[in-house]
Amino acid sequence: MLRLYKLLTIAILWLSMAACQNTTKTDENAVLQAEVRKLSKIKETALPEVVSLKSLKKTMFTPTLESLVDEEKNAIYAPTLLFAWNKIEELLKSEIVLSESNSQDLQLITQSKSHEQSLNPDEYKIEVDTKVDAIVARAFFHKSLPFKIEFHALQEPIVFGKTKVSAFGLDWQDFDVIEATQILYYKDDAHLVLKLLPKDKQHEIILALGLDKFKSLKDALGLLNENIEKGKKEKTEPKQAWKYALNEEDRFAIPIVKFHIDTKYKTLEGQQFFTKDGRPHIVHEAYQRTGFVLDQNGAVLESEDYTSVDSLGAELPHPKKMIYNKPFLIVLKRVDKTNPYFVMSVNNTELMVRK
How many of the other CB atoms lie within 10 Å of CB of 90?
11
Cα distances (Å, whole numbers) of residue 85 to 58, 65, 188, 316: 27, 15, 42, 51
Is 168 within 8 Å of 253 (Cβ atoms)?
Answer: yes
Q: DSSP of 169-186, one letter per residue?
A: EE-S--HHHHHTEEEEEE
Q: What is the pLDDT of residue 307?
A: 31
- Mention every residue, 6+ apart, whose C-beta is less than 8 A from residue 310: 188
Separation of alpha carbons 49 and 143, rounded Å: 18
Q: pTM value?
A: 0.88
Closest CA to 206 of 242, 254, 173: 254
Q: DSSP of 235-251, one letter per residue?
A: HTSTTTGGGGS--TT-E
Is 315 within 8 Å of 183 (Cβ atoms)?
Answer: no
Higher-pLDDT residue of 189, 308:
189
pLDDT in tens, 154-181: 678 999 999 999 999 998 898 999 999 9
Banded model confidence at residue 182, pLDDT cuts 50, 70, 90:
very high
pLDDT in tens, 205-233: 999 999 999 999 999 999 999 999 999 99
For range 22-27, the mean pLDDT: 49
Higher-pLDDT residue of 319, 31:
319
- DSSP strand pairing (251-255 vs 272-275): unpaired
Q: Domains plus CATH for the chain?
A: 3-50+78-145+257-294 (no CATH), 146-256+295-346 (2.30.39.10)
Closest CA to 302 of 165, 113, 187, 205: 165
pLDDT in tens, 267-320: 999 999 999 999 999 998 999 999 998 864 322 212 233 333 333 344 678 899
Does residue 31 register a pLDDT over 70?
no
Residue 344's SS3 state is strand
Catalogue the long-range contacts made by 168-171 (C-beta closer than 8 Å, 24 or more residues apart).
168/2, 168/253, 168/254, 168/256, 168/295, 168/296, 168/301, 169/251, 169/252, 169/253, 169/254, 169/301, 169/303, 170/246, 170/250, 170/251, 170/252, 170/253, 171/251, 171/302, 171/303
Banded model confidence at residue 32, pLDDT cuts 50, 70, 90:
very low
pLDDT in tens, 62-119: 999 999 999 999 999 999 999 999 999 999 999 999 999 999 999 999 999 999 999 9
